[in-house]
């Protein structure tokens, strides 16, 4: 195929929503879906024994923390941050973040994720890695001043420079503002970061109410919950993606709904750090808040597996509410796919004509899908991510037959480098 030739792929005879269909991908989008499509496809993928689903959208992670998988076990969030993570991150350099992000992209491909909403350091290196791996991503500049005013001017200069440099990024990567959290960022920089994003129509990615202690400390300091405090200073709006939102009361819920804030549930890291588990999904849904799913980083959740996240999310919702219908499978799939596309403002997370061609093919010729009475039940509750056979992102095949180009090189370099952090 010539380098400048438009991608033209036919997925032949694949199961889509229980019906065998052909999917024609032209360029970056799904051109048509039908039976016995007659196209001039340059690449034909045999869909026999496979089912097509939208690529997962991981709405909250810290990609290069793959380098820190396992370094801070059995600790509370604040112990983990102050004693392990932040001291370790001072040793990061571009090379480490580049290969750590590549490893994250490899893991996400292997587990069916085609788009991720990141928040991490060494932005140039992270973007380079994501671009080379071919995944779609949102890459925020991180604002974290630990309430130290001496850092303000440098953060502002660096953020502005990063925004200017982002104008030369490829189409798959989107610049955003990453504000760590209201407990770790001064009011001055919270407002500055928010205004910077609003003036440029950028997304803001922030942690809110991850722990009960965070709420208690905020009430003690401001007389308000973190959500109410952020609303008071004008930060919340439809461009805000709020990770965790685990300790949310009724007033917080109404504020988030009124401001159009999108919420990310990260059940595995919440459980592992013992932050809590009673995520108020039903109440968010009733309030009209768009809820999405994320894995968090590998230092807190240990993997980037969205299928595992989906299963745990469903089981915990059913369990703590005592209601087996608390998380229907169709809603769970939307949380992991469609809702992420809505939150990011992109035509992804769905398989339909005209949508971006971000597609995973699932191998259904194995024990986990036998008998295949209910595909989604098998996918969510029976299978694991080894069933992800082929992944397309932006109309390009990034993994086929579970093979990803460059996998050995990525593993070698991470194993060569990670000891620099220890």
Final residue of a structural domain among 344, 366, 393 = 344
Q: Which residues contact 202 (CB under 8 A, 6 or more apart)?
A: 163, 175, 176, 177, 196, 239
Final residue of a structural domain among 344, 373, 394 = 344
**Same domain (yes/no): 262, 359:** no
How far, in Å, CA of 359 to CA of 28, rounded?
A: 11
Q: Is residue 224 part of a domain?
A: yes
**Same domain (yes/no): 49, 64:** no
**Same domain (yes/no): 30, 177:** no
Digit-by-digit pLDDT tens for the chain (422 residues) are: 334 467 899 999 999 999 999 999 999 999 999 999 988 899 999 999 999 999 999 999 999 999 999 998 999 999 999 999 999 999 999 999 999 999 999 999 999 999 999 999 999 999 999 999 999 999 999 999 999 999 999 999 999 999 999 999 999 999 999 999 999 999 999 999 999 999 999 999 999 999 999 999 999 999 999 999 999 999 999 999 999 999 999 999 999 999 999 999 999 999 999 999 999 999 999 999 999 999 999 999 999 999 999 999 999 999 999 999 999 999 999 999 999 999 999 999 999 999 999 999 999 999 999 999 999 999 999 999 999 999 999 999 999 999 999 999 999 999 999 999 98
**Same domain (yes/no): 240, 137:** yes
Q: Is residue 392 part of a domain?
A: yes
pLDDT of residue 6: 75
Q: Is residue 420 part of a domain?
A: no
| Residue 218 contacts residue 240 (beta carbons within 8 Å) | no
**Same domain (yes/no): 214, 320:** yes
Q: Is residue 26 part of a domain?
A: yes
Final residue of a structural domain among 344, 370, 397 = 344
**Same domain (yes/no): 60, 50:** no
Question: Which tokens belong to 47?
Answer: 């869909």
Confidence (pTM) = 0.97
* pLDDT tens for each residue of 23-79: 999 999 999 999 999 888 999 999 999 999 999 999 999 999 999 999 989 999 999
Range of the domain at 372: 8-55+355-407
Is 331 strand, coil or helix? helix
How far, in Å, CA of 177 to CA of 353, rounded?
A: 32
pLDDT of residue 413: 98
pLDDT of residue 5: 61
Q: Are strands 19-26 and 29-34 parallel, antiparallel or unpaired?
A: antiparallel
**Same domain (yes/no): 263, 401:** no
Is 33 strand, coil or helix? strand
**Same domain (yes/no): 295, 314:** yes
How far, in Å, CA of 245 to CA of 98, rounded?
A: 30
Which CATH number goes with the domain that contains 260? 3.20.20.140
Q: Residue 293: which of 280, 302, 306, 305 has the closest Cα?
A: 306
pLDDT of residue 240: 98
Q: Is residue 227 part of a domain?
A: yes
Give the count of domains, the chain.
Answer: 2
How far, in Å, CA of 378 to CA of 94, rounded?
A: 41
> Which stretches of 124-212 are assigned E, i.e. beta strand?
136-143, 173-179, 204-208
Task: State which H helix or E strand residue 286 sits in.
Answer: helix 281-287
Q: Is residue 25 part of a domain?
A: yes
Q: Is residue 349 part of a domain?
A: no
**Same domain (yes/no): 63, 29:** no
How far, in Å, CA of 69 to CA of 182, rounded?
A: 26
Phi, psi of 254 (to 5 degrees): -70, -35
**Same domain (yes/no): 291, 194:** yes
**Same domain (yes/no): 321, 375:** no
Which CATH number goes with the domain that contains 24? 2.30.40.10
How far, in Å, CA of 366 to CA of 119, rounded?
A: 36
Q: Is residue 412 part of a domain?
A: no
pLDDT of residue 176: 98
pLDDT of residue 3: 46
**Measured in Å, how far apart are the chain's first and last C-alpha atoms?**
45
How far, in Å, CA of 196 to CA of 122, rounded?
A: 20
**Same domain (yes/no): 40, 63:** no
Q: Which residues contact 166 (CB under 8 A, 6 or more apart)?
A: 127, 139, 173, 175
pLDDT of residue 211: 96
Q: Residue 284: which of 229, 337, 231, 227 has the closest Cα?
A: 227
């Amino acid at each position: 195929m010539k380098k400048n030739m438009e991608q033209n792929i036919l997925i032949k005879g694949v199961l889509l929503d229980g019906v065998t269909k052909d999917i024609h991908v032209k360029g970056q989008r799904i051109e048509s879906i039908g039976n016995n499509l007659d196209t001039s496809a340059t690449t034909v993928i045999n869909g026999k024994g496979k089912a097509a689903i939208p690529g997962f959208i991981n709405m909250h992670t810290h990609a290069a923390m793959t380098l820190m998988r396992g370094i801070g076990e059995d600790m509370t969030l604040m112990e983990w941050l102050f004693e392990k993570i932040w001291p370790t991150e001072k040793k990061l350099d571009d090379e480490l973040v580049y290969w750590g992000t590549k490893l994250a992209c490899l893991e996400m491909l292997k587990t069916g994720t085609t788009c991720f909403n990141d928040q991490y350091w060494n932005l140039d290196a992270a973007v380079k890695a994501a671009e080379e791996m071919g995944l779609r991503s949102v890459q925020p500049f991180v604002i974290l001043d630990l309430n130290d005013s001496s850092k303000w001017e440098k953060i502002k200069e660096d953020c502005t420079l990063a925004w200017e440099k982002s104008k030369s990024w490829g189409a798959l990567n989107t610049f955003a503002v990453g504000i760590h959290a209201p407990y770790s960022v001064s009011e001055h920089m919270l407002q500055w970061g928010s205004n910077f994003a609003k003036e440029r129509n950028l997304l803001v990615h922030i942690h809110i109410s991850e722990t009960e202690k965070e709420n208690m400390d905020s009430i003690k300091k401001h007389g308000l919950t973190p959500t109410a405090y952020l609303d008071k200073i004008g930060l919340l709006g439809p461009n805000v993606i709020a990770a965790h939102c685990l300790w949310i009361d009724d007033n917080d819920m109404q504020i988030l709904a009124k401001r159009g804030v999108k919420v990310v549930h990260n059940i595995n890291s919440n459980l592992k750090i013992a932050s809590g588990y009673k995520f108020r999904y039903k109440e968010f849904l009733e309030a009209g808040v768009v809820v999405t799913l994320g894995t968090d980083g590998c230092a807190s959740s240990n993997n980037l597996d969205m299928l595992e996240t989906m299963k745990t999310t469903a089981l915990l919702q059913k369990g703590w509410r005592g209601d087996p219908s608390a998380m229907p499978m169709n809603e769970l799939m939307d949380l992991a796919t469609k809702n992420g596309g809505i939150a990011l403002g992109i035509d992804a997370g769905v398989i339909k004509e005209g949508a971006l061609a971000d597609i995973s093919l699932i191998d259904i010729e194995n024990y986990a899908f036998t008998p295949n009475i209910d595909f989604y039940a098998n996918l969510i509750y029976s299978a694991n991510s080894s069933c992800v056979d082929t992944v397309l992102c932006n109309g390009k095949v990034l993994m086929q037959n579970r093979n990803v180009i460059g996998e050995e090189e990525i593993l070698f370099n991470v194993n060569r480098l990670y000891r620099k952090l220890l």
